[in-house]
Amino acid sequence: MKTSEEIQKLISKLIQGDSIAWSKFMKEFHPRVSGFVNYKASNLDTDNIISDFYLKLVDKDYYRLKHFSYGGELGFWNYLKSILLNQIETESKKAYFKRNQSLGKEYQNTLIDARPEPDNQFIENESVYEDITEQMFLEAVMQLKNLNHQESIYLLYRGHTNDEISKIMKKPLNTILSWNKRAKEKLKIILENMRKVQ
């Protein structure tokens, strides 16, 4: 079990975008995250919950990581679980509204209004991603230095169109297109480097 000093050192490196630290974090905590979500919310969209969890960690310039002060590894894991429980609750509410159209028609229309056919915006070159696991992909995204790029590419990965991401992030469409183009270019390099060290 890591001491408080070791956890704070890890968090400090995560906030700096240290790729080795993120790799260690993903190897140590992603299996716990995945297992916890699958145990607590097997009836929900676990992929969404996990993706949103990682977005929360980097959101607002790593706000949640910067404000952890509960001690060692056990405290840190409990802190991460509290974030996961919030995401599970959010996803549960979404599922409830989807099941009960009469109770949340307006909300539901906002969330799951008919979308255009997928345009494969995320994967331009499938060979780049064909042997990449979800954990590897999430780890690679966490290594992107720009937080806007991280959030935008996550949303694209989850199936949102660039137009939808523009509305979600309240940014011009051209900005979103530029962010995602740069993020894909950097992700390709990161993923290729990850392959080399395997």
pTM of the model: 0.60
Alpha carbons 181 and 116: distance in angstroms, whole number: 21
Closest CA to 121 of 173, 71, 169, 161: 161
pLDDT digits (tens, 9 = 90+) for 92-108: 877 765 655 443 344 33
Mean pLDDT (whole number) for 21-26: 91
Closest CA to 21 of 29, 33, 13: 13
| Per-residue pLDDT, 102 | 41
